[in-house]
Structure formats: structure tokens, C-alpha cells
A and B are shown apart, each in its own frame.
Chain A
Amino acid sequence: MADKVHDISAQAFSKDIFTTISEPHMQRVYSMYDKVSASIREHLNANHFQEHKAIILGPVTDPGIRGSKQVTVDYYGYEYKTMSSAILYKQLLSAASKKAGGSGKIYFFADNIRLEPIETAQTDRHLAEFIQVDIEVADTDHFGAMKVGEDLVASVCRSMKRYEPELKEIWAFFEPHSTARGLKKRTELKVPTSPFKKYTHREVIDLINEKIDSDPELKKHMERLFKFVPKPLSYNSEIPWEYEWLVSSLHDEPFFIYDYPKGSRGFYDREYKDKPGLLMDFDLIFPEGYGEAASGAAREYEINKIIARMKETGEKLEKYKWYLEFLQKNGTATAGFGIGLERTVRYICALPSIYLTLPCPKIPGLYSP
């Protein structure tokens, strides 16, 4: 991959793994990965967050992930799961810290494994194995969590600004691929201005529908990029990733979408008391077409509500014994989010696809080292 634009398709990437990853531009990306990780830790530690070792195995993991399968391992005759996200443990650790008189602010660099549907291999945003920086804060709600996310992203951008000369080489190298995938050409790493823009889910749906309606060029562009004809969305649905690309590409700075309708998220996202059907949750979206960076919420912690919510998602209560017992006795208000480390690196490095952030990426459905 030395001087000209090479085949960086997922299939070609792992064919000769050593040649690919020993290429200087790839090594530069891995170095940025390291620096992004360090800047996240630096920021969180400076703000009195306590890091825990990530939990890998447990009798239960996050069930709230659309269509992706968990990995089951035989654990001394019990069926255990590898974490698809350690969300339930975050609540536990934050509540425990608070109870002990601590800050109630915790995080881990969580290794997540999700056997995502094959179709996600096309999104440039999904990996079957990735790291999510999982953050949880006691005594706050989703707005509090959004503030934490906003500060973190701004701080990371500020730190990474120092490496702009190296970044520029990476940007230039991948640019033809990035722009071909509908990503904006990068000329500088902007440090975003706080507070970030916030849209309700409903406002974003209106924005998307209006754009699709009024801009036939954009519609054609989406057809070329994603090989499907965009149609107006309903207020009840998640925002499919192609549409998320659309809103993302309309922005130059990160922003939030909040108040998603119930039904599109896991049972642990708290529902507004006065707005039934709406969840106190949010997504943090990177601009320029990169899409979702983080997903978070105020957590449901009242036992009667959580049981009803679990049944709405068809869960078997026995599976969550430890979690339900913990909430019953020690449930407390927490909020948090998980921010994708590889997604952040991809954004900073302006990479066409997420698998380029890792030396041995696991792309959904693809056999690779």
C-alpha cells in the first residue's frame, strides 16, 4: 500500500495480513489509536472517574442490541456469555461506588463481542469485536451524561490536535476512499464548540424527511452510495444507518439526538414519568458522515418498572437474578453511555471504514486472523 491507492476492501485486508499492517500508514493509524486511548483515560482520570478492569464473562450480557448474537461459552457446565456490552455491570459498579462514599463515576475500556447481522459488514461502522469506553455516573440523568460525553469528545479532539501533521498524512492517504463513501474531505481537526447541538429524535426524523422530500440530488446520491431508495421515516423507528449518515453529513460538529421512542432500545433506558413511550436516552453523532459515536441514557432502576420492561422485550427474568436482586435492594439513579473507541479513532483519522483502525479486525461474517 505504499504509493498509490490500494485495494482496501475488507476481503483484501486480511489476505496478506503482515504486509497490510506493516505498511507505514497503517502503523500511523495504530499509533493514533494508542493516543486516542491515552487521551480518553487522561481526561476521565482528571475528572475523578475510576477505571475498572473490563468484565468479559458473565451469566448474562446486554440483550438490547438489535439483531446481533451473543457468544456463549461453556463455563464449568454453565452457559456464560461474553459481553456484548457490560451495561448491567456499569450500573452495579457506579451504585457500589456511591454507596461506599465514592464519586459514583466509573468507566472501563470494555471488550465487546457482537456477532452482528451480515448486512452490517457494509456500514463501515460495525465490527464484531471492538472496544467501547463504558462510562457511568451516579445521581444524574441523561442530560448529565450528555455533558460528560460532550466534554470527553472535545477534550480528545483538543489532545489529538497536537498530532495534526501525522493525521494529515493519514487523511490524504485514505481520502479517495473516504470521499467515495460519502465522507467529507478533512482539512483540519476541529475542536468542537460546547454545548453541542441537541435534537430530539422527532426533530431529526422531521429533518431527514424534509431533506429527502426537498432534495432530489441528495436522494440520488444516497441511492448511489447505499443502493436503495430512501423513504420517509416514522416517528416510531430507530434511525437506520443510511439515514444517520445523512444527518451526520449535514453537520460539521458532533451533536446529540435524544428522547428516542420506547421499543427501539433496551429495557435499561429509563422512561420519562410524564412522557410515557419516550426514553431518557441519547446518541452522540460524529459529523461529516461518520455517524454514531456513543449511545447512552438515564437508567431504569426501579424494580417494578424494570420487570415490566424486561417482559416487553421478551426476557426471561431468571436469567437476570443477580441484577434484579441488586436493583431491588440497592438500585439508584445512574446515567451513562458507551463510546466506541474504534469509531472515535476512525473519525479522528478520517478513515473510510472502521476495520482500518485495528490490525486484526473482525468484520461481521468474514473469516480472518
Chain B
Amino acid sequence: MLDSLLNIFGAKKTDYPVSEIMDRARRGRKAIYPFSNEKFRFSIYGASMFGDAKRFKTIDDVVIAPPQFTPHRLEKAIELISREPIHHDVDTSTTIGGFSTKFPLVQSSMGSQDDWNKVAIYSAKACAKLGLIYGIGENITATWGYKERNAANQPSFFERAINYLENVKDGLGGLVVQQNEEDAYDELWNKMYSDKRLDEYLQQGLIAFEIKGGQGAKAGMGGEKIVDRATAKRLKQKYTMFPDPDEIEAEYYERHSSPDIFTEEILERRIKKLHNDYPNAKVWFKTGPYRDLEKVIEIASRAGADNITVDGKEGGTGMSPGVALNDLGMPTLACIKAIRRAKEKKDAKTSIIVSGRLYNGAHIVKAMALGANGIAMGRPFLLSAYAYPFADHFIEHELYNNRVMRFISTDIIHPDERSVGFVRNFVDSVEIESKLLTAAVGKYKMRDLSTEDVEAHDPTIAESLNIKSVL
């Protein structure tokens, strides 16, 4: 009706963002975040890749290049004696950041976002049983409590940690725990280090502390979250809140944390100090899609970090301003280039993993061929934990409309132990894909993957990554 009226006046659709500007005019600063103003939301945001035009190159612009001649396959056959090698024979085990892991896939250090926190313990159990490294992100202690729950339906930090640690088998995997400035206020690492129940795991070398230097979806920005008034009042001492919950009654409050401050010296000292203060913990460093990433990697390795996690621009987020998702940060592929350069220098002892819209076996195989020691995934673990019948329908539909998934996380799905199975299924599928692809390039150890196993779709990427071009 409106359309036909407008047609009468000869109106035409424009690519100028009229409604976006008007939305800002109506809602002000609320309009810059890609969610509605509802309390419950299901956040799997990340950079938008496939709008009107693909905006930058991704790892999908690299192909896996299998050879006809496979001397390693012959070697493997000789080793096996009586049968031909197949993908089941691929050894996926490796070491990352001082941990032995069964498969080079790390569950990213995801933080306090409501929907995720609710299912994080199931993912913890699944990862432990699968021998995968499991990360716990920032702000959980302040938001959901260290041991005691701050909210009845949300597990505390300790529950997330212990559900992982108690399920670890054969010493495979490791727990990675972030502490940002606000967590430092609560002394999370000190708490863990003097916690009787965690002591045995520290002694076994199963715990790493991860300094957070950035996040793909909001490089250079601090953590963002929205909270209700009661929470805002409780956390006011530790975070910047907008508006002031003591003064103004609002629908919700923005909880901002600072992006922290690093210089070359600060980073180096911090890593060394962690090793010194917590000799039984590994030291990890998480960085983001920064223009000086190569330098960051160089300094973190020199300072003795056990692992560096690089989160590319396409990485997921619980909450980031839309403008950051679109216009801020270096794409994952550019981060991989920096990793590749760092790995070309033979002295790199520190392992490096990468994340940022990586979600299948091809992504692992490619990233490893390009120099990464493994990859981290965040959103796939979240979505897997919610893989109940029909959930996908709701999630896709609601996200398409850029609206909330309040039904999912409140009224329809009450996640339970079945989530453990869903996560295991997901990882299993990725593992099989990785084995198939590794065997296809004639290798039987994932850690043997190298640049010869990948080629780029176009010559510019090939040149930039120092690999062959398909053309």
C-alpha cells in the first residue's frame, strides 16, 4: 500500500541509508548496536561478509591442493604393512600452548554473554571428553559469580572451570582463563591460584592464564554489554556504566570496560610477570586484528608466551557496535598472513592459533597449512549447544530480521545434558573433515600440513601469503 503510494509520487529506492539515519535520530546511541532493546538476546554477531558485495578476501579464497603423487601415503602403507592408508589413519594430535591436545581445535575464550554462559558447562564437558583445549573468557566472575551463582539460572565461573577439569581424560587438553582489568579487580587468577580445589589441576599443568589484548570483532575497543539496573548498580564500582544507574532509570545500561593499555614493554613485562607469579600456569596471550600484529607476535614469543591466539576481524562477539563489525580491523586472512610471516622465522617456539569465522574442517586444514598450530572456534560451540529440534529455524529467522531470540533462551529451550552430545557431534564432523582433507593431500599427521598443500584463487593473495596461485 505504502509502496504503491510512493510509486505515484515517482519515489525510487535509494542506496543512501535513509532509515539508518532516521533510526539514529529516533534512538540516539542505542542505534549503534546491532540488537534490539530487549533484555534477552541470542548473540552470534560477527562481521557481515555477504551483503551486497563481498567486502574483503577470506580463507575461502584459498583452496586445498591435493597432489597425484603422494610419497607420504606410500610411506604410511609401508608402516601399516597389510593395508592401504585411509583418512582414519590421520594423526590429529598436537601440542598447543604447552598442552597436549587430541585435535588442534580450541574452544575460544568466550565470556559472560547470557545465552552462552547458560550452555558453557555443557561445552566444557564435551571439550574435556574430546581432549580439546577449553577457554573461559572475561567478566564471568564479576557478572555471574566466582563460586556462588549471582543468578539462579546462570552457572558461576567455578562451575564452568570444574565441569571441564573433572572430565579431562589422560591429561589431554587444558583450561585457558582470561582476566581483564575488571576481573583483576576481583583477582580472579589469584583466587584460582589459591583455590584448594584447583590446586591438583595446576600441579598437573592443566591451566593457562590468558592475557587479553584484543578481540576480532572490536579491536581496540573494550568489552561491551548491556545489563539491567540491579546489575548496573552492583557493578558500578568496577565498570563504566551508562547512564548512571543510581541517578537515571533506564530500559537498560551499557556496561563498558576499557581496551587496556599496551606498549611493547608493557606486553613483554606482563608475560614475564605472569610466568614469575604463577609458575604452575601456562601463559597465553590473545590478540586481535591489529596492523602491528607481526610485531605483537614477535614480542609475545620473545617474552615467552606459551601460545598466541589471533582473533581475526570476522570473529564473533556478544556485543559490538555495528560500525566496528563493518569497518574496524584486519580480516582473518590478513592475520593468517602475519602468522605465516612469524612462522617463517624458524625461532618461533610459541604456538599460534587463529580464529574468526572459521567453522569447518577445511578451515582448520588451510589455517594449519598456512602456519597456524591450530584454530579456535567460538560461535560453532554456542550454536551446537543449542541444536535442539527447530532451534535453527528460530535462530535463522530471528537473526535475519536482526531481532532477538528471547524465545529460544527463555521459553522454548531449556538446555540440558543433551547439549554435550550436540557439541561432540559437531566436533566429530569437523574432525572427520580434517582427516579426509589431510589424507587427500597425502599426509597422515595434521601437524605435517604445510604451504605446499594450499593454493590461492588469485595471484595477489598468492603473492601476499607466499603460496602458489591456482592460475
Contacts and interface: CB of A to CB of B under 8 A. Distances in A.
B153 interface: no
A69 B196 contact: no
B464 interface: no
B278 interface: yes
A162 B49 CA distance: 82
B262 A66 contact: no
Contacts of B269: 262-263, 312-313
Contacts of B184: 314-316
Interface stretch (A4-12, A115-123, A296-304): A115-123
Given A263-B273, A311-B262, A365-B196, A316 B237 contact: no
A117 B193 CA distance: 6
Given A117-B193, A117-B194, A308-B263, A314 B276 contact: no
Nearest to A315: B184
Contacts of B187: 69-70
Nearest to A78: B237
Interface in B214-238: 237-238
Interface residues of A, number: 30
Contacts of A264: 273, 276
B211 A67 contact: no
A68 interface: yes
A364 interface: yes
Nearest to B273: A263
Given A79-B237, A236-B272, A312 B196 contact: no
A319 interface: yes
A23 B342 CA distance: 66
Interface string B261-284: 111011001101100111100000
B199 interface: yes
A47 interface: no
Scoring A78, A262, A316 by chain B CB atoms within 10 A of each residue's CB, the highest score goes to: A316
A314 B269 CA distance: 10
Interface string B183-207: 0111100110110100100000000
A238 interface: yes
A245 B261 CA distance: 38
Interface string A164-199: 000000000000000000000000000000000000
B277 to A, nearest CB: 5
Contacts, number: 78
Nearest to A238: B276
A67 B190 contact: yes
Interface in A76-124: 78-79, 115-119
A264 B276 CA distance: 6
A264 B181 CA distance: 20
Interface in A226-244: 236-238, 240
B257 to A, nearest CB: 9
A369 to B, nearest CB: 19
B182 interface: yes
A118 B196 contact: yes
Contacts of B237: 78-79
Nearest to B211: A314
B179 interface: yes
Closest 4 CB pairs of A and B: A312-B269, A316-B181, A69-B190, A263-B272
Interface of A: 66-70, 72, 78-79, 115-119, 236-238, 240, 262-264, 308, 311-316, 319, 364-365
25 contacts: A67-B193, A67-B194, A68-B190, A68-B193, A69-B194, A70-B190, A79-B185, A115-B190, A117-B194, A117-B199, A118-B194, A236-B272, A237-B276, A240-B279, A262-B269, A308-B265, A311-B261, A311-B262, A311-B266, A312-B265, A312-B266, A312-B273, A314-B184, A314-B260, A316-B184
Given A70-B187, A315-B184, 8 more contacts: A67-B193, A67-B277, A69-B187, A69-B194, A118-B199, A240-B279, A314-B184, A316-B185
